[in-house]
Amino acid sequence: MSPKMHSKRLTAVKFANAVNKIEGVPVTNQAKKLSAQWARGEISGSAMKAVLIAKHKRSVTDTHHE
């Protein structure tokens, strides 16, 4: 990945985290880790999204069974 693309991705991650903060939505450590991996080109955006959706689905399911 080019340095320019890496920089653009870092900017996108910072922007997304800022928007979430403004909206009162906490950014989990796992989301931050996945975003960093995406910014470095280690995982795709689709892979990052799939992991986060699966985690949140499990969280909702676990909460409803308590």
DSSP element (H, E) containing 61: helix 45-64
Structure tokens at 62: 């676990």
CA distance 28 to 61: 18
Domain ranges of the chain: 3-64
User: What's the pLDDT score for residue 2?
Assistant: 94
pLDDT digits (tens, 9 = 90+) for 1-55: 899 999 999 999 999 999 999 999 999 899 999 999 999 999 999 999 999 899 8
Q: Which class does domain 3-64 fall in?
A: mainly alpha
